[in-house]
Structure 1
Amino acid sequence: MESIPPEEFPAIFRAADRTAILGQRRLMVTTGLRLGTLVTAATFGAFSMDVANIDLAAVIAAAALACALVLEVYLLTAMPGHQWSQARVAAESAKSLAWRYVAGGEPFGCAGQDEQGVDDLLLRRLGSIARDLHPFAPIPLSDEDAQLTATMKRTRRLPLDERRRRYLAGRVDDQRSWYRGRAMANERRASRWSVALAVLEALGLVAAVLNGANVLDVDLPGIVGALGAAGIAWIQTRQYRRLASAYSLAALELGEIVARAEWPSSEEEWARFVHEAEETISREHALWRTSHG
């Protein structure tokens, strides 16, 4: 086994990870629906559709605006984005502590340490994460959940070379591959959205010319403008360019760390190496938290 399976990580990580995924899903779905209702309101507000002496288009536009208002109130009160960011930071902090512990990195080095004291330090650090998170995103933990699992203890007792191999494969290489993949995916999405918005702007220009020539009797430029504004708002929510840059830099820094992985020859040197690697990963998490704060 090259890595620790998710179910063998501390309970706080698994709970916070589930909460973060739920918060992200709620934010993205609600934001998408809100932007969609605003575009719908702009579209139906651009023309009239009389049915039985009622302007059905105006009714639909009003209903869309009412839905947008409800969704906005939900975003302001439930704050799924805040829940997502707080829970994700807590999950990654717990994961970092777990890897420091099993690999023998600072402050859980294996050189002459009192193992009971090390275990107690880990539990106190994890407990602090849970207490800091609870006011923002309460996460239930069952009685069966363990903060310190048997797999974590077994891995920590392995020889240095084996811990080194597992840490590099299960943590550093895995994280670097994830960063690289996410950087490329975000860059592709940013490019596609830029092209789509450029095409939309061109269509808006054509529509404005046709309106000016009295060829169209519909406020098509207004509709296109609403679509463009919605697209820009979505890009700002997802922050494709910023994330692509941050992930690329993190992957590069982890690549440099991998190149020095064989240098530490003692437990003390290895503990400092793990600390440096985790600090590199933590810097990306701090940047992510700032961008989603």
Structure 2
Amino acid sequence: MNKFNPSLEDTPSLYRAADSASTSGQRRFLHATKTRLILLSLAAASAITSWRVGGTEVLALVSAVAFAGALIAEIYLALTKPEKLWYEGRAVAESAKTLMWRFMVGGAALGIKEPKLAAEDHLLSRYREIANDLPGLELIPTVGLSDQITEYMRKVRALHLKERMRYYIKGRLDNQIDWYGQRSRWNRKHATIWVTLLLMLELAGLIAAILRATGMLPIDIMGILSAVAAGGIAWVQAKQYQALAAAYAVAYHELAIIKTGASKVLSEEAWATYVAAAEDAISREHTLWRASRPFA
């Protein structure tokens, strides 16, 4: 065994199915939301002037088509609720993943002191509870093995304490710390970009309004600027850049602190408690993430 981070094939089929469902829901929700906002902005832009070809007002027709497209996107979001699939799928996936790691490395309540068969039965029972908690969630099986307890999971669990500690710190804690750090920086960067863009749009709207009032601007572009700004605000609210940057930063520092305490662990009992504390910290971040999402 020469890797610390399990591949997708090494994870339980429940996790893979839930992760796939969540990714699909997220993609569909964001694409539909983006399409709707762009079409609404296009409809507003088409209304600032006129362009007649024969007896047809072309820009009015463009505006009508854009509004129709935005309406279709809105109906799609209302009927299919892809954001629900995103949030619920992620909840199942993260719950399955934390149980997987607890089982592999001997975290409470799946410690090494528990007999092998009893631990496996406990793990499968928890998986069953997780899946049953969200009966409306379609967990379509992914291609690959159907194992809920993979050979990789059993091999890691059979290692000595020091080796399991190494696997957990490198494969779980370091991985999560790096991910939280990268995502915190990414969200902070995009929050700054969007705030700057929205301020520029509002400033442009103010200047356009003044020029229009003084007769120096023959075309009324305030409507399009307002629509684009409103669309930008709606997109920022959907992405939650600032909230996620802060939440990921907190999780990053909390896990970094927890990691430093690994050197004090000298027994299986202490290790089981240590792993439980680390997984609880990761679960708290996910709980805050769900609470921050619209419609969650």
CA displacement at 1:136 relative to structure 2: 2.8
On the 8 A contact 1:87/1:133 being kept in 2, the answer is: no
On the 8 A contact 1:86/1:137 being kept in 2, the answer is: no
Bigger mean CA deviation after superposition, 39-48 or 225-234: 39-48
User: 1:182 corresponds to which residue?
Assistant: 183
TM alignment of 1:152-167, pairs within 5 A: 152-167=153-168
User: 1:44 corresponds to which residue?
Assistant: 46
Secondary structure (helix, strand or coil) at the match of 1:260 reads helix
Give the whole-Å Cα distance in 2 for the aligned partners of 1:5 and 1:26: 25
User: 1:121 corresponds to which residue?
Assistant: 122
Secondary structure (helix, strand or coil) at the match of 1:262 reads helix
Task: String of CA shifts for 1:68-107, please: whole Å, max 9, x gaps.
Answer: 1111010011111110010011111100000000010011
On the 8 A contact 1:105/1:270 being kept in 2, the answer is: yes
Give the whole-Å Cα distance in 2 for the aligned partners of 1:204 and 1:136: 44
Give the whole-Å Cα distance in 2 for the aligned partners of 1:143 and 1:63: 43
User: 1:34 corresponds to which residue?
Assistant: 36
Give the structure-1-normalised TM-score: 0.97
> Aligned pair 1:95/2:97, yes or no?
yes
CA displacement at 1:126 relative to structure 2: 1.2
Give the whole-Å Cα distance in 2 for the aligned partners of 1:250 and 1:161: 25
Give the whole-Å Cα distance in 1 for the aligned partners of 2:145 and 2:192: 46
User: 1:135 corresponds to which residue?
Assistant: 136
> Aligned pair 1:287/2:282, yes or no?
no
On the 8 A contact 1:264/1:270 being kept in 2, the answer is: yes
CA displacement at 1:217 relative to structure 2: 2.5
CA displacement at 1:195 relative to structure 2: 0.7
Bigger mean CA deviation after superposition, 76-85 or 133-142: 133-142
User: 2:259 corresponds to which residue?
Assistant: 258
Question: What is the root-mean-square deviation in Å for CA atoms of aligned residues?
Answer: 1.3
On the 8 A contact 2:25/2:85 being kept in 1, the answer is: yes
TM alignment of 1:1-293, pairs within 5 A: 1-111=3-113, 113-140=114-141, 144-292=145-293, 293=296
> What code does the residue aligned with 1:89 have?
A
Relative to 1, partners in 2 of residues 1:130 and 1:139: Cα closer, same or farther, differing over 3 Å? farther
On the 8 A contact 2:13/2:141 being kept in 1, the answer is: no
Relative to 1, partners in 2 of residues 1:83 and 1:74: Cα closer, same or farther, differing over 3 Å? same
What residue ranges of structure 1 are gaps of 5+ in the alignment? none
Give the whole-Å Cα distance in 1 for the aligned partners of 2:204 and 2:125: 59
Give the whole-Å Cα distance in 1 for the aligned partners of 2:73 and 2:112: 52
CA displacement at 1:134 relative to structure 2: 4.3
Give the whole-Å Cα distance in 2 for the aligned partners of 1:273 and 1:130: 27
On the 8 A contact 1:257/1:277 being kept in 2, the answer is: yes
What residue ranges of structure 2 are gaps of 5+ in the alignment? none
Give the whole-Å Cα distance in 2 for the aligned partners of 1:35 and 1:20: 22
Give the whole-Å Cα distance in 2 for the aligned partners of 1:92 and 1:199: 39
CA displacement at 1:180 relative to structure 2: 0.6
Give the structure-2-normalised TM-score: 0.96
Identity of aligned residues (%): 40
> What code does the residue aligned with 1:55 have?
E
CA displacement at 1:58 relative to structure 2: 1.1
Bigger mean CA deviation after superposition, 215-224 or 260-269: 215-224
Relative to 1, partners in 2 of residues 1:191 and 1:142: Cα closer, same or farther, differing over 3 Å? closer
> What code does the residue aligned with 2:281 have?
T
Give the whole-Å Cα distance in 2 for the aligned partners of 1:169 and 1:257: 13
Aligned length: 292
Task: String of CA shifts for 1:208-235, please: whole Å, max 9, x gaps.
Answer: 1221122222221111111110100000
Bigger mean CA deviation after superposition, 58-67 or 91-100: 58-67
CA displacement at 1:138 relative to structure 2: 3.5
Secondary structure (helix, strand or coil) at the match of 1:137 reads coil
On the 8 A contact 1:50/1:56 being kept in 2, the answer is: yes
Give the whole-Å Cα distance in 2 for the aligned partners of 1:133 and 1:100: 22
